[in-house]
Amino acid sequence: MNSAFRIWASLVSLAIIVQVGLAAYGAFNAVDKSDDKGAIGKNAVSNGFDAHTVLGYAIVAAAIVLIVLAVATRRAAPSRLRWSGLVLGLLVVQILLAAAGDAAAWLGILHGMNALAIAGFAGSLAGREWAAFRGATRPAP
């Protein structure tokens, strides 16, 4: 079960990296779809972010699985539940910030900043798990 948690945490971290790339695709797609006058339709922008949106919800589901695995292995490393809960909590905030960004574009800045926090915490969780597996360090309780 420890291996399942470690591998799943790594896959969640990798999915978050892909998610950031899909956000970049959405932005560059919007520029590409604009005409020479700089006009672009809302649908053209939204379509470029469809994959980003779908993967975002899949990552939230994956984070819920990560919580389940953390509960199942909490005796081996009690900190797993805290770290997994933090990642899930930040993902929920991310969804709220996306909705807020639709209402007020300047709030999109917080969506981007929170994405960096999610990537950092998810990557740290995966890194801690691999380090513990290799015996370099044990996760703090």
Q: Which residue has the tokens 């990642």?
A: 87
* 61 is a domain residue: yes
* 140 is a domain residue: no
* 63 is a domain residue: yes
| Burial of residue 9, with CB atoms counted within 10 A of its CB: 0-12 exposed, 13-18 middle, 19 or more buried | buried
* 141 is a domain residue: no
Count of domains for the chain? 1
Query: Domain range holding 97?
Result: 2-134
Question: With bands split at pLDDT 50, 70 and 90, how would you rate the model's confidence at 140?
Answer: low
* 98 is a domain residue: yes
* 15 is a domain residue: yes
* 139 is a domain residue: no
Residues belonging to the chain: 141
pLDDT at 102: 85
Its pTM stands at 0.86
| Cα 36-39-41 angle, rounded to 5 deg | 130
In angstroms, the CA 128 to CA 139 distance is 6
